[in-house]
Amino acid sequence: MPASFKVRAVPLDDNKFEEVLDPDFGESAIGRVAPVDSGLWWIILLRAYGKLTGDYALQERVDVQTGIKLILKLCLTDGFDMFPSLLVTDGSCMIDRRMGIHGHPLEIQALFYSALRCSREMIVLNDGSKNLVKAINNRLSALSFHIREYYWVDMNKINEIYRYKTEEYSTEATNKFNIYPEQIPSWLMDWIPEEGGYMIGNLQPAHMDFRFFTLGNLWSVVSSLGTPKHNEAILNLIEAKWDDLVGNMPLKICYPALECEDWRIITGSDPKNTPWSYHNGGSWPTLLWQFTLACIKMDRVELAQKAIALAEKRLQVDHWPEYYDTRTGKFIGKQSRLYQTWTVAGFLTSKILLENTQRASLLFWDEDYELLEFCVCGLKKSGRKRCSRGAAKSQILV
């Protein structure tokens, strides 16, 4: 799936022109990086279109079914990486510049999980698709457990990491990825609230990226990648750290910004990604609709209303900029494009979702309790006795 299109005019006879779309598969992109998220978004939006319009004929077309299967075939291919998460390069998602998110960033895992759930709903069941649906179910269960168990941090989990033993070699190991306690950044110790938590930005052997990435966390709530308690805790954290994550304009794309040596080394001294600008801690109004959807799902509409009210004061006056700069999102981004479609769309969608929360429910997912019956976590032989999927199952109200 291309990340974007450009409209090109092709000359015809008699001084006439025809407009055609030029897709960009990465060969024209900044850094020449092929997008990973666009195929996942295509599946998610295809399902949303069917739900909202009732036009299911589109997703049942042979060419569309083929598109879904080709994307899944690519994503479900076995590889030498940290199964079951999806391995990607830096700059292959919404953050399309070097920001140290290569490997297994949360944003891609959350979109991957959502795309799998969408595909399972839309794939036409027949003899040729049975094995694919089985593979989807297996990956959903494994991915859900992996993210819930290893990406989640709150006060208790950070204290656990703080006391980790290292160089553990056995199936009974608690510190499975050999994380050194010294990796816990000093800002996190004082920043994490008593009530609340979030999914970390990335996990690789001997490395945890403790930055808060908004899109990945919001989409974890929307798709039920996290447990119901996780979802509630993420919104609790946003409310507790409102000045940091929302400030004058919702919402920070990530927190905190990379500064000083980290900025020079990780971004390559990127002049666009200076601290608290663009993808390095900038504020992106387009994230407002996803925040609104997460709030509606968790019955926290007052948070969405508060964020929308902030945006409403400035967006039209500021000519709908792409992003805002500074620690609190006070100024229009130094290279921000104006009259951005996704800024306008994010704001309008948020207003419409709040006006009709019943239709909004068509766009998010509840906990998949069927997966709880076939959990593939394989924890029976490990030192960690509690499975987060089992904990979620215990929250079912009878």
> What is the pairing mode between strands 254-255 and 207-213?
antiparallel
Has residue 38 got a pLDDT over 90?
Answer: yes
Tens-place pLDDT, residues 137-171: 999 999 999 999 999 999 999 999 999 999 988 88
Task: Note whether 391 and 227 are within 8 A (CB).
Answer: yes
Cα 333 to Cα 180: distance, rounded to the nearest angstrom: 37
Closest CA to 303 of 295, 311, 314: 295
Q: Which amino acid is at 276?
A: W
Does residue 176 form part of some domain?
yes
| Sheet containing 207-213, strands listed edge to edge, beginning at the edge strand earlier in sequence | 152-154, 197-204, 207-213, 254-255
Q: Which residue has the tokens 């080709």?
A: 70
pLDDT of residue 128: 86
pLDDT of residue 182: 95
Q: Which amino acid is at 337?
A: R
Q: How high is the mean pLDDT of the chain?
A: 91
Task: Note whether 151 and 137 are within 8 A (CB).
Answer: no
287 and 172 fall within a common domain? yes
Has residue 378 got a pLDDT over 50?
Answer: no
Q: In this predicted model, which residue has the larger pLDDT, 29 or 324?
A: 324
pLDDT of residue 375: 60
pLDDT of residue 379: 40
Q: In this predicted model, which residue has the larger pLDDT, 360 or 3?
A: 360
Closest CA to 111 of 209, 206, 23, 199: 199
Closest CA to 257 of 150, 100, 111, 90: 100
Cα 2 to Cα 14: distance, rounded to the nearest angstrom: 32
Overall size of the chain counted in residues: 398
**371: which residues sit within 8 A by CB, 6+ positions away?**
137, 140, 141, 144, 389
26 and 90 fall within a common domain? no
201 and 288 fall within a common domain? yes
Task: Note whether 114 and 41 are within 8 A (CB).
Answer: no
Does residue 283 form part of some domain?
yes
Has residue 309 got a pLDDT over 50?
Answer: yes
Provide the percentage of residues in the chain whose pLDDT is more than 70: 93
89 and 49 fall within a common domain? yes
Has residue 284 got a pLDDT over 50?
Answer: yes
pLDDT of residue 173: 87
216 and 328 fall within a common domain? yes
152 and 16 fall within a common domain? no
Model pTM greater than 0.85? Answer: yes
Q: In this predicted model, which residue has the larger pLDDT, 211 or 29?
A: 211
Cα 285 to Cα 145: distance, rounded to the nearest angstrom: 31
Cα 45 to Cα 230: distance, rounded to the nearest angstrom: 25
Task: Note whether 150 and 201 are within 8 A (CB).
Answer: no
Has residue 225 got a pLDDT over 90?
Answer: yes
Q: Which amino acid is at 142?
A: A
Does residue 282 form part of some domain?
yes
Question: Mean pLDDT over residues 337-342, rounded?
Answer: 96
Q: How many domains is the chain partitioned into structurally?
A: 2
Question: Mean pLDDT over residues 206-216, rounded?
Answer: 97
Helix (H, G, I), strand (E, B), or coil: what is residue 325? strand
188 and 177 fall within a common domain? yes
Which range has the worst mean pLDDT, 13-17, 29-33, 300-304? 29-33
Has residue 380 got a pLDDT over 70?
Answer: no
pLDDT of residue 392: 45
Closest CA to 382 of 198, 210, 145: 145
Task: Note whether 72 and 120 are within 8 A (CB).
Answer: no
For residue 19, list its beta bridge partners: 9
Cα 136 to Cα 302: distance, rounded to the nearest angstrom: 36
**318 class by beta-carbon count within 10 Å (0-12 exposed, 13-18 middle, 19+ buried):** middle
60 and 4 fall within a common domain? no
Query: How do the residues of the chain divide into helix, strand and coil, expressed in percent and rounded to 5?
Result: 45, 10, 40
166 and 70 fall within a common domain? yes
pLDDT of residue 132: 95
pLDDT of residue 374: 62
Does residue 313 form part of some domain?
yes
Domain range enclosing 203: 35-393
Closest CA to 367 of 94, 67, 113, 38: 113
pLDDT of residue 28: 83
Has residue 37 got a pLDDT over 70?
Answer: yes
Cα 76 to Cα 84: distance, rounded to the nearest angstrom: 9
Give the confidence band of 4 by pLDDT, cuts at 50, 70, 90: confident
Tens-place pLDDT, residues 235-245: 999 999 999 99
Does residue 398 form part of some domain?
no
pLDDT of residue 5: 85
pLDDT of residue 278: 97
Does residue 157 form part of some domain?
yes
Q: Which amino acid is at 335?
A: Q
167 and 301 fall within a common domain? yes
Does residue 366 form part of some domain?
yes
Which domain CATH number covers 355? Answer: 1.50.10.10
26 and 43 fall within a common domain? no
**What is the full DSSP assignment across 46-61?**
HHHHHHHH---HHHHS
307 and 277 fall within a common domain? yes
Q: What is the DSSP letter of 21?
A: E
Give the confidence band of 311 by pLDDT, cuts at 50, 70, 90: very high
